[in-house]
Amino acid sequence: MEGIADGLCAYADEHGRSVDVLDIVALNARSEIALGQWDDGCTSLAWRLRDSAGSGFERQLLGQNWDWRVGVGKNLAMVSIEQDGKPKIWMVTEVNSLLDSFNGKRN
């Protein structure tokens, strides 16, 4: 979150604004703040698939679901990102919000 705030600071400074890491924390906790309670809601998983010869691992899959509250489902979108030389990424995000990824990195 500090990295996001640092990146936004350069843009904000050019436009006479400021961004603090607490602004990013508030954005990431907006649902809990708005609803007045903390409620866990994500489950992470990993799966390793062997190649057909059984000599090694062909693919690794990491995932995280968003099973927090049924009511937020109507505001969610599934996004796919493909970059040359990098793994394909699927993410769940709230529409008009920053993307949430499994580990916060795109590598």
Helix ranges restricted to H, the chain: 2-14, 21-28, 30-35
Q: Is the pLDDT of residue 102 over 50?
A: no
For the record, the structure tokens of 67 come out as 């099973």
| Rounded Cα gap, residues 52 and 72, in angstroms | 40
pLDDT of residue 1: 66
pLDDT of residue 39: 59
| pLDDT per residue as tens digits for the range 69-84 | 777 778 788 888 888 8
Average pLDDT over residues 50-55: 72
Taken in order 90, 106, 24, 41, is the CA torsion positive or negative? positive
| Rounded Cα gap, residues 22 and 1, in angstroms | 9
| pLDDT per residue as tens digits for the range 3-49 | 777 777 776 777 667 777 787 787 777 666 766 665 566 777 788 77
